[in-house]
Structure 1
Amino acid sequence: MKNKNIVVIGSYLVALVMDTDRIPLTGETVLARNFRQTHGGKGSNQAVQAARLGANTSFVGRIGKDAFGESFIKLCELENVNAEFVFQSTDMPTGAGFIICDELGFNVITIDIAAINQFSRKDIDTALSLITDNSIVLLQLEIPLDTALYAAEKAKQKGAIVILNPAPAQNLMGYDLSMIDILTPNETEAKICAGLVNDAAYSDEEVAQQLLSLGCKNILVTLGEKGSFLCNSSVAMLIPSISVNEVIDTTGAGDAFNAGLAVALSEGKIIMEAAQFANVVGGLSVTKSDTIPSYHFRAQVQEYMDRSAHV
């Protein structure tokens, strides 16, 4: 069986990163170190990780006509990601994000999506030739919600498998998500998407059932070191994560997970097996700093899985 191609429709942001001993409190200034500029954005992260795992991967998005944007085009060439439908705005800069990482591996992030605000239905229509019934389309919400849902609808009409990673989270109650095959929020995002008070004591299954009412076929909630929780019309189950010796940086782990999920599905794995593979890909990413530098290649992932199978 021929593997499905992966089309990531989403965001690219240049990431400006620094390390601190701890996350600053409101109004507090703390000394930082190791300032660096890296590639970021959920969409581009997912595209690069999917390509490193061996998938035929394309990226659709919008950047500025500036040095940051040109750097992304070069990244796509380096990582073997098709950038044919990366659109460039002339009056808006490439999006940017600021990331603070503490010594425990936790982080805070702010973003200005800039040119991505102009990512439109017209752009999706222009890029539709990439999508067929042999595609997996992977979306996030760092692009306008209307554009993301329009892309999902058009992709489903063409017979593709559609994954929506609803991050940053928005309240999705009231929207028809019947074109979404798999919704992949983390635990906090799931409650926001379901319109539930974030600090209320809802179980993962209760939140997932609320999201299923929107028409999604599967809810796959990422739970960090605990793994992921799969819920659909027939199962509700925890899929355990891998254990790692040391957590260095959790930035971008969710993107690695989503890419791993898409790649496993593209190779014909059922959703439970795909989630197990995604847990490995996401788990390995926290053992290195930053986003793309932390993403493992297929041979490295396979080596870990082979080694674990003999323990």
Structure 2
Amino acid sequence: MGERWDVVVVGSVNADLVVGVDRRPAPGETVLGSDLATHPGGKGANQAVAAARLGGRAGIVGRVGDDGHGELLRGALAGDGVDLAHLVTTPGTPTGVALITVGPDGDNSIIVSPGANARLGPDDVAAARAMVTGASVVSVQLEVPLPAVRAAAGIAARAGVRVVLNLSPAAPVPGELLALCDPLVVNAHEAAFLLDGGGDARTMAAALAGSGPRSAVVTLGADGAVVADGEGTTAIPSPKADAVDTTGAGDAFTAALCLRLARGDSLRAAARYAARAGAAAVRRRGAQSSFPTPDELPAP
């Protein structure tokens, strides 16, 4: 049978450089912030760590640079038990970095410098074929080049592996990629981008599920999520949580969703579990440092 993974993530691995601010600066303005904190991050690494911390067997396909940030990230991923067999070090290239400001309400603004992530390509995915086809669920995002995402989704789908696309950051994607998604996971801003217009979450989720993906999930932060598929549209509430830092909460949600789908849950049951993971993640600072273990999840 060979090795199996619950969730394999093909995606970014970044160092998060985080500064807290009382308010975000206006154009041309300087404001003082907190001491700089460096955390392991990147949507790909975040989702792999979150799935592993919830008890899943997780692997990652990605790239880091040959610098101190790359060493930090390798150590963090290994410490949570993520399989690093296909995390490639890229000579002469910096590791990806996310510049994050966190306001007093816990909301964040992020600028990503891709670094080595921009070098991830279809050849890397092909080299990781055994890992990709040995997964129950493959999760992809858009912090790495689209050709790598398409290659991963195609290899996974042809092998009967479920594909979850977290379309973040928002960008145009071909219809043949959307058709492989089960589900497509987006927040309200990303949903509005794809639909070329906003609307209420239920309407957007239904429209997305009818536009190519086999199913869709629109995440709404503290308001939970909306799930849409051939069975209709369902609102998924979120447990109440006092938000300290929302960085990584969406990744915790997506990782938990992937893990529960890998374990055989229905999409709605998986989304209810994922909402609990997302709520838990806002209670501590940082991304990976905030991800819960199963006994830290709030009650349903």
**Which bracket does the TM-score occupy, shorter chain normalised?**
over 0.9
Confirm or deny: 8 A CA contact 1:61 1:116 kept in the other structure. yes
Bigger CA drift: 43-52 or 3-12?
3-12
Counterpart amino acid of residue 14 in structure 2: L
Q: Distance in 1 between matches of 2:205 and 2:173?
A: 13
Q: Deviations over 1:163-218 (max 9, x none)?
A: 00000111336554211111000000111123x14xx5x23233334433442111
Counterpart amino acid of residue 153 in structure 1: G
1:105 lines up with 2:109 in the alignment? no
Counterpart amino acid of residue 137 in structure 1: V
1:297 lines up with 2:293 in the alignment? yes
1:270 lines up with 2:266 in the alignment? yes
- The aligned counterpart of 2:138 is 137
Counterpart amino acid of residue 94 in structure 1: T
Structure 1 residue runs without a partner (length 5+):
none
Structure 2 SS opposite 1:96: strand
Counterpart amino acid of residue 104 in structure 1: D
Confirm or deny: 8 A CA contact 2:182 2:213 kept in the other structure. yes
Question: Runs of 4+ in structure 1 displaced over 6 angstroms?
Answer: none
Matches within 5 A, 1:41-56: 41-56=42-57
Q: Please report the TM-score for the alignment, with normalisation by the length of structure 2.
A: 0.94
Counterpart amino acid of residue 181 in structure 1: D
- The aligned counterpart of 1:20 is 21
How far has the Cα of 1:266 moved from its partner? 1.7
Aligned residue pairs, count: 297
Q: Distance in 1 between matches of 2:30 and 2:52?
A: 39
- The aligned counterpart of 2:11 is 10
Q: Distance in 1 between matches of 2:217 and 2:27?
A: 33
Structure 2 residue runs without a partner (length 5+):
none
Q: Distance in 1 between matches of 2:191 and 2:275?
A: 18
Alignment partner of 1:221 out of 200, 218, 223: 218
Structure 1 SS opposite 2:47: helix
Counterpart amino acid of residue 232 in structure 2: V
Across the aligned residues of Structure 1 and Structure 2, the Cα RMSD in angstroms comes to: 1.6
Q: Please report the TM-score for the alignment, with normalisation by the length of structure 1.
A: 0.91
How far has the Cα of 1:32 moved from its partner? 0.5
- The aligned counterpart of 1:232 is 229
Counterpart amino acid of residue 216 in structure 1: P
Provide the identity percentage: 33
- The aligned counterpart of 1:284 is 280
Q: Distance in 2 between matches of 1:147 and 1:37?
A: 27
Q: Distance in 1 between matches of 2:9 and 2:177?
A: 21
- The aligned counterpart of 2:93 is 92
Confirm or deny: 8 A CA contact 2:47 2:254 kept in the other structure. yes
Q: Distance in 2 between matches of 1:126 and 1:288?
A: 36
1:58 lines up with 2:59 in the alignment? yes
Counterpart amino acid of residue 256 in structure 2: G
